[in-house]
Amino acid sequence: MKLIKNCYYFLLLAWPLSLRAQNDALINLNASAEGTGLITDKSPAGIIALIINSLLALLGTAFIVLIILGGFKWMTSQGNREMIDEARKTITSATIGLVIVLASYMIVRFVIDALTGATLNSGGSEASG
């Protein structure tokens, strides 16, 4: 149980660092894109996308940590059926959580793309013919 608690603390400490690294990478990308004609996205939608991508990176890290933790428990169980079942539950729960997060991300992405396409196409600003 102490190992799980330490993993949560690690994730809480690592998340701001991952955000900082992603922000630094974005700043470097924006600096290298200046003068090239590329659009740097500082709109609210771009910031929200950055936050969502950061959270997905954090959840991916949490998934990897939980899979490693479950595998470690399984390998050190020494044939104890209760510990094996606990490790199997950890791995199964982590996988189900990842599937739920990815499915919700895909649904939100689909809805936003559909709404964006509908508002852009029905605006009437483009003259045909």
- Look up the pTM and report it: 0.55
Domain housing 77: 2-121
The mean pLDDT of 1-29, rounded to a whole number, is 62
| pLDDT score for 105 | 81
Name the helix (H) or strand (E) containing 15.
helix 2-33
90 belongs to a structural domain: yes
Distance CA 14, CA 21 (A): 10
126 belongs to a structural domain: no
Nearest to 2 by CA among 95, 82, 69, 99: 69
129 belongs to a structural domain: no
80 belongs to a structural domain: yes
Distance CA 95, CA 63 (A): 7
The string of pLDDT tens digits covering residues 45-69 is: 667 777 777 788 788 888 989 999 9
